[in-house]
Amino acid sequence: KFIPDWYSAEELRKGDVILYPVPKGVKRLKSIEFDADKLKYDFKSKALPRQIEVNNGFCRMVGYYLSEGYVITDKCKGTIGFVFNSKEKSYIEDVLKLMQKIFGIKPAGLIYNRRATGVNIPFYSARLARFFQKHFGNGAANKHVPHWMMELPLEQQRALLSGLWRGDGYIDLKRQRAKYVTISKQLAYQLRLLLLRQKIISN
C-alpha cells in the first residue's frame, strides 16, 4: 500500500521506507583494447594480445586482482602479482591457467614466505602492470571496478564476484552469511550494486 514519492530529507520519519535504485542496464562487450602502449626504450616486454576477450575467465581474473593482486610499475620494469594462502591451491592454479590463456605469460615462480603459509605469484610484464593499474587501480584503498564492467551481463558479473570472494570474501554456512572485506570505499559501493543486480541484498 506504499506510494512512492519524492520527499526532502527533513520530512523523513522513523518507519519510512527508502527506495534504492538498482542499475539494470546491460552492455555486452566481446573484447576490449589492450591500451598499455610499449614505451620507446622497452626492448624486453613480451608480446601481449591487442584485444582481450571479455568472458567469464577474464572477469574472474579481474576479481582475483581486485582482491589479491598488486602491481609495481616503472619505466621499463614492471610486475603484476597475486598473493594467496598456500592452502588455496585451486585458486593459485586457476590464476596460473588464466594468465597463460588470456595474456600468454607465465610467472617468474612461486615465492613462499618463511612459514610457507603464503605464496606470492609475480609476473614480469611492465605493460600488463600498467594496464591493470590504469583500469582497476593499484593499492588496496584504490581498487575499483571500471564502469564498463558494471554494465556487463549478470553471468559475467557473477564470475567477477567469484574472483573477488575467493580473495577477500568468506562464507559462513552455519550463520548463512557471506562477507567481503575491503578498505576501498569505491569498491565497497560498487560491490553493493553488483550484488543488487544479482538480487542479493547486503548491508
Name the region of 87 (left: φ>0; alpha: ψ -120 to 50; beta: rest).
alpha
Q: For residue 120, what pLDDT is reported?
A: 96
* Mean pLDDT, each 10-residue run in order, the chain (203 residues): 88 89 92 84 75 97 97 82 95 97 94 91 92 95 97 98 95 92 96 95 88
Measured CA to CA, the distance from residue 56 to residue 63 in angstroms comes to 11
Helices (runs of H) and strands (runs of E) counted in the chain: 5, 8
pTM score? 0.89
Query: What residue has cell string 589479491?
Result: 68
Least Cα distance to 64 among 153, 162, 132, 151 occurs for 162
What one-character-per-residue DSSP string does 17-38 give?
-------------SEEE---PP
Residue-wise pLDDT for 107-142, tens only, equals 988 999 888 899 999 999 989 999 999 999 999 999
**In this structure, what C-alpha cell is assigned to residue 135?**
583500469
Q: For residue 75, what pLDDT is reported?
A: 64
Task: Show the DSSP H helices in 137-199 as ranges.
Answer: 154-168, 185-197
- Burial grade of 13 (CB within 10 A; 0-12, 13-18, 19 or more): exposed
Measured CA to CA, the distance from residue 99 to residue 96 in angstroms comes to 5
Establish how many alpha carbons lie within 13 A of residue 119's alpha carbon, considering only the half-sphere containing its beta carbon.
17
